[in-house]
A and B are shown apart, each in its own frame.
Chain A
């Protein structure tokens, strides 16, 4: 009978121990996959990248703490990503991939046409998705699988214009937008909101190609109209500093605002002190309102990726909404009907704000007739010397 050498015995014992360990770990921890379908390449890469990185940072953090307990099981969070390249056809492919992997909760897409394109796939395969896109029909009945992941411009715009009318004496407003579906629809609703408030709209047709690098020719005729407020509707973070710089260099002295989230570092590098006073919508990172939890999130994100992106101040929320709703109703983990039932009554503490009374809850009844929006605080920021300062904080119901 052949005899085993000592080395072979040790090797076999080690392999057995490793196998047993791995088996024990997998029995203790189940995997919970959360998807992302959005744009992480090309000129709009910043929109989706800040989503993905926020999700990855949080998932790593929660996994490091031992996973997320939902019901009587503890789950390791796995983020599955798909770059749709801002192409609706690719977004559909991405959502189909999520369905094939058995994923029921997907963050994204980032733009209107992508969000509209994935709707049939999501509804057919029992997927709840969280677009960063504003068309109301996605969130209004009979649609029920999409939950808006941020504040829409038709919610923040009127609040910003009203504030500027009351506090800065704004009377004349001009709009400029990229010639793409999202910015154009945001411009149209912004124009309507401004007119409803009694503002004089002096420019509402000016547009630019999204890949424009020099905005001086675009802004020359608008600046000549001398508006009190220039609204950069749906402006991409890459274009905001270029537009601000071109307007200021042409001698524009009025206010400039947008209803999209921006990054302070990008504004600082691209426009420097010319960006001072620029008004945008942010999330929870300004020192006035951010909790220690939010500060730790920013620190972890910065450590993991080398640099923080202020757009993540709004994008940090959605993963928590998904997980907390599942905690409230563990059946929702693979049953989106249970998730939908829980939406109406769900409430949990908001870990990202100092205010102890701040809550995570679903809203949208006023805008959509049903709760299909996450309650992200509507923080209106003013850029000053490389940082954002909170102008005011609003809410959406």
Chain B
């Protein structure tokens, strides 16, 4: 059971970090970014290229992933989403745009990086094996970095001027504007931060799970599940959703293994019941 809990916590930290960027963008702009998984994949490929192919240090590679995605995210907000939001009166236009960018990223990455699964050398060798828990050291490092990033993100949103401005925007866009918050500027920063988080987590996890050009869609679906559990647009909800999903997967795959692949069936059924009771998730209001 110790191993099952350790697996769940590790998965949860991964998932929470993936979901944070998605929920940030949703909270600020009410946009469901279907390309979030593709941004994660692009971050993974950048780290693969910089660390795995060019041989530069892993932290620099992850930094490159984060910076590149932040720039791409900024441009996407400025020239795509802002334009569509201004010109279209229908909310689903942004969803269509997000879906289109997801397909675009998929096609471009397949063209550039090919169809193969890619991986990089382990960042730390060896396996921790004690107290009934087996956990490779590289997972411990990645899990710790993920936890540190989650805490830093919460602190940033809570204590910095930029974070407070973004929280104000998420709570009430018009009121924030009337109070002098520069809506366009902070929306762009928020979108760039969301994309950056996707890039960083993609870069971090390429050292554990590798990356291939076709996994963006499934990653997005899992991220949506997490924010539905926790409550869309709420940072604490994304974190809670990530850990709950990670733990449900880990426990389900052990306890239900005798019955075949019913773990996700049970998770989806539980999610449907849960959403019918709490349609806004666990913490269904922006930024608590």
Contacts and interface: CB of A to CB of B under 8 A. Distances in A.
B288 interface: no
Contacts of B250: 217
A280 interface: no
B130 interface: no
A262 B4 CA distance: 30
A305 to B, nearest CB: 8
Interface stretch (B82-90, B170-178, B212-220): B212-220
Interface in A252-295: 263, 265-266, 269-272
Given A42-B214, A45-B214, A209-B261, 9 more contacts: A46-B117, A207-B260, A208-B261, A217-B8, A217-B253, A269-B117, A272-B121, A306-B114, A307-B116
Interface in B1-27: 3-4, 7-8, 10-11, 14
Nearest to B127: A249
Interface in A209-236: 209, 211, 213-214, 216-218, 220-221
Interface of A: 40-46, 49-50, 179, 205-209, 211, 213-214, 216-218, 220-221, 237-239, 241-242, 249-251, 263, 265-266, 269-272, 306-307, 309
Contacts of A265: 116
Contacts of B214: 41-45, 238
B197 interface: no
B209 A217 contact: no
Contacts of A40: 115
B79 interface: no
A56 to B, nearest CB: 14
Contacts of B7: 216-217, 220
B136 A42 contact: no
The residue in A209, A242, A249 that gathers the most chain B C-beta atoms within 10 A of its C-beta is: A249
B205 interface: yes
B249 interface: yes
13 contacts: A42-B217, A46-B117, A50-B115, A205-B259, A205-B260, A208-B261, A213-B205, A217-B249, A238-B215, A242-B210, A251-B127, A266-B118, A269-B119
B233 to A, nearest CB: 25
Q: Which 8 A-B pairs have the closest CB atoms?
A: A211-B218, A207-B261, A43-B214, A238-B117, A270-B119, A269-B119, A179-B261, A45-B115
A55 to B, nearest CB: 15
B257 interface: yes
Interface in B90-145: 106-107, 110, 114-122, 127, 129, 134, 136
Contacts of A242: 117, 209-210
Given A45-B110, A249-B134, A249-B136, A213 B215 contact: yes
Contact of A205 (B120, B215, B258): B258
B117 A214 contact: no
Contact of A43 (B52, B127, B212, B264): B212
B194 to A, nearest CB: 20
Contacts of B120: 269
Nearest to A222: B257
Contacts of B106: 41-42
B173 to A, nearest CB: 35
A45 B8 CA distance: 30
B76 interface: no
Interface of B: 3-4, 7-8, 10-11, 14, 52, 106-107, 110, 114-122, 127, 129, 134, 136, 205, 208-210, 212-215, 217-219, 249-250, 253-254, 257-261, 264
Contacts, number: 116
Contacts of A266: 116-119
Given A40-B115, A241-B210, A214 B4 contact: no
B118 A214 contact: no
Nearest to A42: B214
B142 to A, nearest CB: 11
A92 to B, nearest CB: 22
Contact of B122 (A205, A208, A272): A272
A85 B117 CA distance: 17
Contacts of A42: 106, 214, 217
A250 B214 CA distance: 27
Nearest to B11: A214
Contacts of A217: 4, 7-8, 11, 249-250, 253-254
Contacts of B210: 238, 241-242, 269-270
Contacts of A269: 52, 117-120, 210
Contacts of A209: 218, 261, 264
B12 to A, nearest CB: 11
A221 B257 contact: yes
Contact of A241 (B119, B127, B249): B119
A50 to B, nearest CB: 8
A367 to B, nearest CB: 27
A49 B261 contact: no
Contacts of A213: 205, 209, 215, 219
Contacts of A307: 114, 116
Contacts of A214: 10-11, 14, 208-209
A272 B207 CA distance: 12
Nearest to A238: B117
Contacts of B258: 205
